[in-house]
Amino acid sequence: MAKAIINGNRSKGTINPNIYGHFSEHLGRCIYNGIYVGENSDIPNVNGMRTDVVEALKKMGIPLLRWPGGCFADTYHWRDGIGPKESRKRIVNTNWGGVTEDNTFGTHEFMELCRQLECEPYLSGNVGSGTVQEFSDWVEYCNMGGQSPMAEERRKNGQDAPWNVKYWGIGNEAWGCGGNMRPEFYADLCRQYATYMRNYDNEHKIYKIASGANVADYNWTKVVMERAGRFIDAVSLHYYTVPGGEWQHKGAATGFSRNEYYTTLKKTLRMEELVENHSRIIKQYQGNRQVGLCVDEWGTWFDVEPGTNPGFLYQQNTMRDGLVAAINLNIFNNHCDTVVMANIAQVVNVLQAVILTEGAKMLLTPTYHVFEMYKGHQGAKQLESYVETALIGEGENQAPSLHISASESGEGVLVTVANLSDTDSAELDCAISGLGKMNQVEGKVLTGACGAYNDFGSEETVKPVPLAAELTGDSFKATLPACSVAAFTVK
């Protein structure tokens, strides 16, 4: 029996809903086909956005969406994507497969998508190959309510009211595809760009996110914070789970070995150490204001599916991905005092997608279901939690058998637990202390073989089902199947 305790007397604060954020890039079939099919498509759509995808993302509770990249952002010139569609520039997507980008999905279309999703937009601006003027104009175009050249241009293009975009990324991966910069150089640029990102409305202050470190590059965070910390609101961090040692051999998304399974989990668990170390550095330099940590790219990165364009980063998604999502989301919940945003890469058809499409068909991945089961954590009060674990795994790739987080809201206490064992079920005995008598528990579980996935043309095999749980006083007991993610709501 594994004992767990949820301490109702201890909390690190509110879980920012943006921790459940997503990322959409002009990459492969993410935007085109996956989200945007155009008004004249046979696929049901509203103003060009796929109805099936929009409805599914709303049901999952998407709070925020990052766009237009990724690496694409630092080659993107926002003016290419406004005005009459027939006269928009056709450019080459030099980052992703060298395909033609016809710019039919631009700023107005992205804002329309966010309107339909009822989510916050997060725009990633071009620092790598753009100019300060271009970036500053984009902010004015989106946010100026009164008279100004940019506001007039927006109105001419059919949008009267400003969108008041709050979240702005100052470049992306400036250490790599965003310009191969040294942190000192980027920090100076970041100060300059941040200076000209103006607030056009005091009730809608913008939130400036600096391009952050790759994995454990702590010097990057230190230099950016030391030199530019007072000009920004947050710093980002990118960390992907790549089971293979090399980029040429990342490992397959399906049909993986037991060793690859545990390597994947072990590498995912590293997120905790990264979040803690980067947060510590941020705190050291933030002075008397809070600078947040945005993990604005995370997720699994495997070899592309055989026969697909290597530049499109299309991969299947199994129960193993579901566990990766559960671990990361538990970590972000448990560090909600410093992690203010996280964006899984990417929302549709790319890397650890929550949705896959094939023509008019759409499927929900195990990762989708984990996000849906965890959505009650958004905006809830995090509660400290602990679970007894054994170390499991193969050789050096040891992982704790169980992984947990919990929160409290008007809906009750939400306890989310993953059983990482590929072979053994776990008996859980979970006590909730300090919150008085509990009257009711409801459980749900997502489970299957670690390599199980949903596929086109067959029934959805991996989906949440009810899980029996027995409540006695302030404790509940349940059996967690091997390779599973469970969510319990206790009232």
Catalytic residue among 101, 120, 140, 173: 173
Find the shortest distance in angstroms from Cβ 317 to ligand AHR: 15
CA 261 to chain centre: 22
Residue nearest to ligand AHR (CB): 70
Determine if 57 is a binding residue for ligand AHR (CB under 6 A): no
Q: Is 408 assigned a catalytic role?
A: no
411 is catalytic: no
- Answer whether 324's CB lies under 8 Å from 366's CB: no
Closest by Cα among 153, 148, 76, 81 to 111: 81
What is the rounded distance in angstroms from the CA atom of residue 37 to the CA atom of residue 39? Answer: 7
Query: Are the beta carbons of 368 and 58 closer than 8 angstroms?
Result: no
Binding mask 159-198 for ligand AHR (x = CB under 6 A): -------------xx-------------------------
Which structure tokens are listed for 154?
């927006």
Return the axis-axis angle of helices 132-143 and 149-156, rounded to nearest 10°: 60
Residue 71 lies near ligand AHR (rule: CB under 6 A)? yes
User: Does residue 101 touch ligand AHR according to CB under 6 A?
Assistant: no
Secondary structure (DSSP) of 124-172: EE--SSS-HHHHHHHHHHHH--SS-HHHHHHHHTT--S-----EEEE-S
Tell me the C-alpha distance between 148 and 5, whole Å: 57
In a 3-state reduction of DSSP, which class is residue 348? Answer: strand
CB 253 within 8 A of CB 306: no
Pick the stretch among 37-45, 69-77, 318-326, 439-447 that binds ligand AHR (CB under 6 A): 69-77
Nearer residue to ligand AHR within complex by CB, 173 or 408: 173
Asked if residue 142 binds ligand AHR (CB under 6 A), the reply is no
Catalytic-labelled residue, pool 140, 297, 372, 408: 297
Residue type, 449: A
Q: Does 70 bind ligand AHR (CB under 6 A)?
A: yes
Q: Which stretch binds ligand AHR (CB under 6 A): 64-72, 204-212, 272-280, 383-391?
A: 64-72
The verdict on 304 binding ligand AHR (CB under 6 A) reads no
Give the type of residue at 162: P
For ligand AHR (CB under 6 A), the number of binding residues is 10
- Is 408 one of the binding residues for ligand AHR (CB under 6 A)? no
Please identify, using beta-carbon distances, which residue of 243 and 448 lies nearer to ligand AHR.
Answer: 243
CA distance linking residue 393 with residue 326, whole number of Å: 18
Q: Is residue 330 within the footprint of ligand AHR (CB under 6 A)? A: no
Nearest of 68, 75, 77, 59 to residue 36 by alpha carbon: 68
> Based on CB atoms, which residue is closest to ligand AHR, 313 or 445?
313
From the list 67-75, 394-402, 441-449, 481-489, the region that binds ligand AHR by CB under 6 A is 67-75
Element (H, E) at 266: helix 258-285
Member of 139, 150, 324, 345 binding ligand AHR (CB under 6 A): 345
Q: How far is the CB of 38 from ligand AHR (least distance, A)?
A: 24
Asked whether the beta carbons of 312 and 28 are under 8 A apart, the reply is yes
Query: Taking Cα atoms as reference points, which of 177, 20, 37 lies closest to residue 96?
Result: 177
CB nearer to ligand AHR: pick between 67 and 256 = 67
Instruction: Name which of 105 and 141 has its Cβ closer to ligand AHR.
Output: 105
Q: How far is the CB of 21 from ligand AHR (least distance, A)?
A: 14
CA nearest neighbour of 326 among 243, 391, 265, 409: 265
3-state secondary structure of 258: helix
Least separation in angstroms between CB 25 and ligand AHR: 5
Q: Tell which one of 25, 137, 321, 408 touches ligand AHR (CB under 6 A).
A: 25
Residues that bind ligand AHR (CB under 6 A): 25, 69-71, 172-173, 297, 345-346, 351
Task: Return the active site residues.
Answer: 173, 297
